[in-house]
Amino acid sequence: MADYSSHVPGTFSWVELATTDQKAGVAFYRALFGWDVSDRPIGPNEIYSMFQMRGKEVAAAYAQMADERRLGVPSHWNLYVTVENADDTAKRAEALGAKILASPFDVMDVGRMAVLQDPTGAVFCIWQAKKHIGARILQEPGALCWSELTTRDPQAAEAFYTALFGWSAKHGAASTQMEYTELGLPGQPPGAGMMKMPENMPAQVPSYWMPYFQVADADASTAKAQELGGKLMVGPNDIPKTGRFANLQDPQGAMFAVFKVAGV
């Protein structure tokens, strides 16, 4: 069990689903991961579905905003990085070449956040915790265990994130078929990875962050996701001495991955 009461600034701490069909999306992930759900009103006609394990928050889902739908933005997962001060971090990000898609604002009394787009086009959120720290469980089956950036410009992305969050970058061996970079705070296990966008990816697909959820059996979880209407994109594949993963799309099109830790 990996329970948390706080998160270190510069670490991924929360993940939420923005979906075109909240009811169906919630049902899919509940069935796939065994999550409980606590629905909380956030407006006259809006509900924030908080996913839980053991009564503790692990993720959330909400109905995608109308303006995103008009722009053709597909269902997706939003990934959050904890920061000490959302306003200061947003200013630094902008100075480093990011776009501020949503300026820092208070989320009631639970925290302060901003939505940013890195210089390569990937969108992410920053979170200054108040009453809500983010996920209270990480790194166990059903919980977020890894965050991955697929980008069209790894060098620019690395320069941006290392400067913004103080992350260090560990590059894979030159002999590997696909260059992969691990990202994280110095002195701590990496919590994120980065890879170059495949050459065959359509030009209109932007750089993006994707969450990995730990599972007890990657093959079984992949099969279950497909039975529930999800689509297999990659895998399941082994990562030598690390684990086994599969990249998936939920029935509304949001991309995510499942991951089985080797030897666990």
Q: What is the pLDDT of residues 95-145, one digit of tens each?
A: 999 999 999 999 999 999 999 999 999 999 999 999 999 999 999 999 999
pLDDT at 202: 82
Which spans in 132-236 are helix H? 154-165, 218-227
Cβ proximity of 261 and 220 under 8 Å: no
pLDDT at 173: 59
pLDDT over threshold 90, residue 41: no
Angle separating helix axes 154-165 and 86-95, nearest 10 degrees: 140
Q: Give the integer Cα–Cα distance in Å for 206 and 48.
A: 27
Highest mean pLDDT, choosing among 61-70, 79-88, 254-263: 79-88
Instruction: Band the pLDDT of 178: cuts 50, 70, 90.
Output: confident
What share of the chain has pLDDT > 90, as a percent?
A: 81
* Among 170-174, 187-191, 216-220, the least confident range: 170-174
Closest CA to 59 of 28, 110, 14: 14
Cβ proximity of 212 and 147 under 8 Å: yes
Closest CA to 165 of 110, 92, 238, 234: 92
What share of the chain has pLDDT > 70, as a percent?
A: 97
Instruction: Band the pLDDT of 203: cuts 50, 70, 90.
Output: confident
Q: Give the integer Cα–Cα distance in Å for 145 and 251.
A: 22
Cβ proximity of 210 and 148 under 8 Å: yes
Q: Is residue 235 classed exposed, middle or buried when 0-12, 13-18 and 19+ CB atoms within 10 A define those classes?
A: middle
Instruction: Band the pLDDT of 175: cuts 50, 70, 90.
Output: very low
For the chain, the farthest-separated pair of C-alpha atoms sits apart, in whole angstroms, at 55
Q: Would residue 20 be called left, alpha or beta, if left means φ above 0 and alpha means ψ between -120 and 50 degrees?
A: alpha
Q: If residue 263 lies in a helix (H) or strand (E), which one and from where to where?
A: none
More confident residue, 141 or 73: 141
pLDDT over threshold 70, residue 1: no
Instruction: Band the pLDDT of 263: cuts 50, 70, 90.
Output: confident
The partner residues of 175 in beta bridges, in order of sequence, read none
Cβ proximity of 261 and 245 under 8 Å: no
pLDDT at 72: 73
Cβ proximity of 113 and 104 under 8 Å: yes
Compute the chain's Rg from CA coordinates: 17
pLDDT over threshold 50, residue 11: yes
pLDDT over threshold 60, residue 235: yes
Q: What are phi and psi of 112, to 5 degrees?
A: -130, 135
Q: What's the sign of the alpha-carbon dihedral 231, 71, 212, 47?
A: negative
Mean pLDDT over 164-188 rounds to 85
pLDDT at 88: 98
pLDDT over threshold 90, residue 176: no
The tokens for 233 are 């994109």
Average pLDDT, the chain: 93
Distances (CA, A) of 146 to 83, 103, 190, 252, 256: 18, 26, 9, 22, 11
Cβ proximity of 85 and 41 under 8 Å: no
